[in-house]
Amino acid sequence: MRKKILLVPLVFLLAISLVAIGCAAPAPEVVPEVVPEVVPEVVPEPIELTMVGSHAIDTPSLVLYFEWIKRVNERSDGELIITYKGGPEVIPAFDQGEAVRTGVIDLLAAVGIYYSSAVPAARAADLARHPTIEQWYESGMLAFIREIHEEGLGAYYLGGITWQTPGFFHMYLVRPILTLKDLVGVPVRVTGTSAPFAAALGMSGVSIAHAETYGALERGVVEGLMSVPSAVWARGYTEVAKYRIAHGFYGGHGSSGIIVNMDTWNRLPQHLRDLMDTVQHEVLVEYKDFSDDGNEADLQSMRDKWGMVDIYFSAAEAKEYVDIAYDAKWALMEESLDAATIARLREATKL
């Protein structure tokens, strides 16, 4: 009897437990956590451009082109890599214009005289006589130079990298003179830039390679030359030609600079084009005294080492001398350019 009494509550408890279990909510379904797939970032390949230069490796201003390349490469954050391949030893100077036109190279640290057969007006940059960078940019010369490069070479003229105050070409002679008349009949080494001026002075122009000029001066084949201080100093010409006519001419900004194959330029993203343009102007302004200071240093070195003497004409003859230089260059340009281009050029070079 006692056992039956004990079993009743046990059965009752068991029944209640089963009911409770049956009425309880089902256990929540375990959903596995979804981990988002990690997609690796696609880093685009950098745009690689090649550049050559018209300048020999010992040309002082070449360091400014290297500075431009360095800054553009660094500030493009790996998007653009410009590689300088070399100078005339890689592609002869007179073939470089065609190389950039056809895309053999992307960029050229250019000297316009070397591709003037394709862009005759490139020689006209020497006619600009603006005394400051700001005046040059306000003159319309940049738009003019860009237009003639696109038309004649299918290239984009980015801009000049070196500023030189106009008038840094000079004549150097083996003997002193007193007046303009003393130049008549004197044999002088000339280039395409200086030949018209020599002829207008009544001098006898002789075309001689740089490598042969020193010997020609020594032998009396020529008795003078026209060039810039850096070239005269580097080649030691004033060891023989000690007399410099101190009144300078030519050398306007825009006769050299960076040009880009037009297809290359057009396919670059706008922000990289803006970067190249910004850095060009930045280097130009930052180093605006580089060439002028270098010219003065070279002239002083020639005075100190070889006793170079500066010749000064009277004020009237000095003006006549410089005017003859520019008039001769204008006459040359008028022979090779149409009237509309001449009119635009005269407007852009007007002071």
Mind listing the pLDDT tens digit for each residue in 241-288? 999 999 999 987 888 899 999 999 999 999 999 999 999 999 999 999
Tell me the mean pLDDT in the region 101-118: 92
The pTM assigned to this predicted structure is 0.79
SS3 call for 79:
coil
- pLDDT surpasses 90 at 188: yes
Q: Would you place residue 207 in the very low, low, confident or very high pLDDT band (cuts 50, 70, 90)?
A: very high
> Domains, the chain, ranges and CATH?
47-164+253-292 (3.40.190.170), 169-250+295-349 (3.40.190.170)
- pLDDT surpasses 80 at 83: yes
Mind listing the pLDDT tens digit for each residue in 14-62? 444 444 444 444 555 655 565 566 656 666 799 999 999 998 887 888 9
Residue 49: φ, ψ to 5°: -120, 145
Burial pattern 229-248, b for ≥16 Cβ within 10 A else e, equals bbebbeeebbebbbbbbebb
Q: How far apart are CA 57 and CA 55, in angstroms?
A: 6
Mind listing the pLDDT tens digit for each residue in 136-172? 999 999 999 999 999 999 999 999 998 888 998 999 9
DSSP string, 167-199: --EEEEESS--SSGGGGTT-EEEE-TTTHHHHH
| Paired sense of beta strands 309-311 and 243-249, if any | parallel
